[in-house]
Amino acid sequence: MTVIQGFILGIIQGLSEFLPISSSGHLVLFQKLFGLKEGVVTFDIALHLATLIAVIVVLWKDALEIIRKPLSKMTFLIIAGTIPTFIIGAAFSDLFEKLFESGISLGFEFILTGLVLWYADSVRSKNKGLEKTTYIDAAIIGVAQGIAILPAVSRSGFTIAGALFRGLNREFALKFSFLMSVPAILGAAAKDFYDIIKAGNGLEIGVGMGPLLIGMLAAAVSGYLAIRFMLKVFTKVSLKVFSYYVFILGAIVLVDQIFFGKFFGRLF
């Protein structure tokens, strides 16, 4: 991996983690376009941890409030949402890993993300905030987050959609989605580190320190900007704008898979 590639992947990770267009799908897509194989798992972990920093920097007041009041309702809502995510991740880990490695499902998953965003945009809000949100609401949002472990299914897109389906207002839906990303990213990073050590590969980064550091910096900065952007415009912008993008991207991937098989493998 070159420094330029690391920089590009970092920007892609930071932006697409918090815009509802699938960060993992974009990373898999561009890693295949760049022909990268060695060291990308460790690199992906580093980029996700960098975006975690962006969440904490932007939402530091909320994070500090959770630390100060660990038994608050927000804490338990996040726990209620995180449990089904971890159960789904553990139960289907082998399937998820195979799909990440092959990339064969990318086109369908981008289109699925678009369909969910399109439908969620038409849901009438019940204007639920923190006080009216139930633990069942949080658990259902957690299920949506678990489904979003699929490579090109957007975590932020599915959690926001799940929150809107449950009647949360847009402002709280967005904030809750971002806060739920903290344990999800930490859990995924811990699992990947464990798998690497268990495989006897140590903690060798494989991609070079330069691309790694540049990628992390790019992911943290672009993630910060993406969160700020979403917090500012989400209540005013239709989710259909993002669905158009993933529809087009999914169609491009499927065309390659059906007719050419040059980048993403053949479907048939």
The pLDDT tens digits for 165-181 are 999 999 999 999 999 99
SS3 of residue 168 by DSSP: strand
pLDDT for position 4: 93
Contacts of 70 by beta carbon, 8 Å cutoff, 6+ apart: none
Distance CA 115, CA 247 (A): 8
The model's pTM: 0.91
Q: Six-digit token pair at 115?
A: 């369909």
Residue 160 banded pLDDT, cuts 50, 70, 90:
very high
Other residues' Cβ atoms within 10 Å of the Cβ of residue 243: 24
- Tell me the pLDDT of the chain averaged across its residues: 90
CA-only gyration radius of the chain, Å: 18
CB 227 within 8 A of CB 54: yes
Q: Which pLDDT score, from 0 to 100, does residue 192 have? A: 74
Please report the pLDDT score of residue 172 as a whole number. 95
Q: Quick one: CA dihedral 45, 46, 51, 54, positive or negative? A: positive
Q: Residue 152, Cα to own-chain centre: how many angstroms? A: 9
Alpha-carbon separation of residue 14 from 43, 148, 228, 253 (angstroms): 13, 17, 12, 22
DSSP letter (8 states) at residue 142: H
Mean pLDDT (whole number) for 136-142: 98
Fill in the amino acid letter for 242. Answer: F
DSSP letters of 74-101?
HHHHHHHHHHHHHHHHHHTHHHHHHHHH
pLDDT at 201: 55
216, two tokens: 């992390």
